[in-house]
Amino acid sequence: MRQRFESAWAWTKARIVSSIIVAAATMIIGFHYGGWMTGGGAEQMAKNRAEAAVTAALVPVCLAQSKADPSGVTKLAEFKAITSSYDQQEYLVKSGWATFPGSKTANDKVAEACASALKAT
């Protein structure tokens, strides 16, 4: 009877250990290769995508404000004379081109993207 109990326990122990190993391997493969993510990771990814979409939507407004500015030609020449990308972004913030109607402050990400777009023109 004792031998039968030890044999059953050994079999049960092997099943438990193998189940734990399979579960751990499934989670590692799922999170690393399968695209699984936690709720916090999904929320952060959604936030990043939303910010990128807003930035992409507001860059044309920044470019339009630069064209509508009466002293836009002078400011654009001054902007292009600046070599540092950080200083170019700050110049756009100070010029008001990255400040949108209804907002009191400039959007830094839009200023960065708008600076890239203005450099390309």
Considering the domain architecture, whether residues 2 and 59 belong to the same structural domain is answered as: no
Q: Where are the beta strands (DSSP E) in the chain?
A: none
Q: Are residues 46 and 77 in the same domain?
A: yes
Q: For 64-115, how does the pLDDT look when each residue is reduced to its tens digit (9 = 90+)?
A: 998 999 998 899 899 999 999 899 999 999 988 888 888 888 888 999 999 9
Whole-number CA gyration radius for the chain: 29
Q: Are residues 71 and 60 in the same domain?
A: yes
Map residue 112 onto helix, strand or coil: helix
| Domain ranges, residue 19 | 1-36
Cβ-contact 113, 57 below 8 angstroms: no
Domain shared by 2 and 29, yes or no = yes
- Number of domains within the chain: 2
pTM of the model: 0.67
Asked whether residue 44 falls in the same domain as residue 94, the answer is yes
Q: What is the pLDDT of residues 23-48, one digit of tens each?
A: 999 999 999 898 899 999 999 999 99
